[in-house]
Chain A
Amino acid sequence: MTEYKLRMGDGKRISMTKEQIIADLKEGMADAADLGDIPDLSEDEIDKLVDILTMPSRMVGVEQGMEVPVTHDIGTIRIDGDQGNSGVGIPSSRLVGAMMHERAFGADTMELGHIDYSYKPAKPVIAQEMQTMEVCQQNMIVPLLYGAMPNMGLYYTPDGPFENPGDLMKAFKIDEARESMEHSAEHLTRDIVWIMQRMMASGSDGVNFDTIGAAGDGDMYASLHAIEALRKQFPDIYIEAGMAGELLLGMHGELEYDGVTLAGLWPHQQAPLVAKAGANVFGPVVNTNTSKSSAWNLGRAVTFIKQAVKDSPLPCHVNMGMGVGGIPMLETPTIDAVSRASKAMVEIAGVDGI
């Protein structure tokens, strides 16, 4: 019986028969449909996924004419940064990194980010960030955003001023934990707006919110309010709102935006809120399960993202980095798996970008 080379969610090579691939695709799809209360993929779409996964070539590509723009989290740091930022450690300025992406790699957009890649640590070095943005904007042609993680965890002890909600919850101080998250969210919103006021004064095209919700619903609450404030102050700012995970965790549990409880939202439910706040582009996420095959993970991810694309009023640039969007969870995702997941998201889920 013919066997095809696929990957596990951790990247390890495996062999599967066509029947096994179909079974895993359908199982992954059913998991997404059940969790998100969303429709299954059609038989034609399953067939197309099977075709993509069983193509014999090492790398595959979208059909000509179906290409989409690609945006980038972490940006230039992947050139000069260390392993912690997925960097390759080439000594270079961030301008050089940005220009390498534009001129050497054919990137459609780029972003500038601080080596500590969260908004809070960019505050003490804001003048340096402004100067770098100015120089980059003078030399770059593609849209160049300022990117960072909201990362609300930095506002909790021992890193920040507010008592750690995890410690408070362990002591059954639930109300105090919620208050701490609410205070942190206010400060996070204020910091993001403060930083972006300065980056916009330096010529930035806009902002990339990378990994919204990493610290739970408070993180998203703060980000949505920052988006709203920035849209009000800068009507033409480009705003990309990228999520941290598929399900918004209810660390607080009662926070709402526009009358909608944030805890427990799936990608297709997150999209309308991001649009309401005033973003231009939404970056939905589906997590990879390392113990399942790439067929299972891709079936699941495409099912979720197809619905997010359908329900989103905004262009969707699906997150397809390490461990999300059907991409294996490892530092060096294999080209065979990346290109198959990329093609499936464009041709089946119908994303507007990656």
Chain B
Amino acid sequence: MGMPISHIMTSGMSGIRAAGDLVARMEFAKGMRIGEAKDYVAKKLDVTTADLSDEYVMRELREELGIGVITSVAGAPKGIAAKMNIEKLLDLKINSCEKFRGQLK
């Protein structure tokens, strides 16, 4: 466990503590290189690229946007609900959300 945590602390974007999941999603969804992915997400969030790794900026912004926060906030969107908000925010489709919608009657 020490090795992956060391990488996260040294170089990582802190996942949903900040905006690491969003930048990773753009690399995977659109094949964007790191600079392009950060620019895209920063523009969508109306923040700077430096803010994407800044927990101070992202903590409140994530809660406001309903895209999931690191701490367990009662009533806040989590899991699939948060991902549905991420779809709208980043203007992309997420497979699990598509499957979820497909099961609704």
A residues contacting B by CB (< 8 A) are 59-62, 64-72, 78-79, 88, 102-103, 105-109, 137-144, 200-206, 236-238, 240, 280-281, 313-315, 320-322, 327, 332-333, 335, 338-339, 342-343, 345-346, 351-354
Residues of B within 8 A of A314 (CB): 31
Residues of B within 8 A of A78 (CB): 1, 4
- Shortest CB–CB separation between residue A64 and chain B, in angstroms? 7
- Shortest CB–CB separation between residue A82 and chain B, in angstroms? 14
In this complex, the interface size class of chain B, counting residues with CB under 8 Å from chain A, is: 35 or more
Q: Are A142 and B11 in contact (CB under 8 A)?
A: no
Q: Are A338 and B83 in contact (CB under 8 A)?
A: no
CA distance A106 to B23 in the complex (A): 14
Q: Chain A's interface: helix, strand, loop or mixed, by majority?
A: loop
Q: Chain B's interface: helix, strand, loop or mixed, by majority?
A: helix
- Shortest CB–CB separation between residue A321 and chain B, in angstroms? 7
Q: With A70-B20, A108-B21, A201-B99 in contact, is A138–B80 under 8 Å at CB? A: yes
Q: Are A354 and B11 in contact (CB under 8 A)?
A: yes
- Shortest CB–CB separation between residue B88 and chain A, in angstroms? 14
CA distance A332 to B100 in the complex (A): 40
Most buried by A among B4, B29, B100: B4
**Residue B43 interfacial (CB < 8 Å):** no
Q: Are A202 and B99 in contact (CB under 8 A)?
A: yes
CA distance A205 to B96 in the complex (A): 7
CA distance A139 to B83 in the complex (A): 10
CA distance A7 to B22 in the complex (A): 35
User: Chain B 74-105, CB within 8 Å of chain A: the 1/0 string?
Assistant: 00001110110010000001111001100000
Q: Are A109 and B10 in contact (CB under 8 A)?
A: no
Q: Are B16 and A141 in contact (CB under 8 A)?
A: yes
Q: Are B96 and A339 in contact (CB under 8 A)?
A: no
Residues of B within 8 A of A346 (CB): 11
What would be 17 A-B contacts, judged by CB atoms less than 8 Å apart? A62-B11, A65-B53, A70-B8, A70-B20, A105-B5, A106-B17, A107-B20, A108-B20, A108-B23, A109-B28, A138-B79, A138-B96, A203-B96, A203-B100, A280-B29, A351-B34, A353-B34
Q: Are B24 and A141 in contact (CB under 8 A)?
A: no
Q: Are A68 and B96 in contact (CB under 8 A)?
A: no
Q: Are B4 and A70 in contact (CB under 8 A)?
A: yes
Q: Are A107 and B34 in contact (CB under 8 A)?
A: no
Q: Are A106 and B95 in contact (CB under 8 A)?
A: no
Residues of A within 8 A of B4 (CB): 70, 72, 78, 105, 107
Q: Are A281 and B95 in contact (CB under 8 A)?
A: no
Q: Are B3 and A141 in contact (CB under 8 A)?
A: no
Residues of B within 8 A of A320 (CB): 7
- Shortest CB–CB separation between residue A113 and chain B, in angstroms? 14
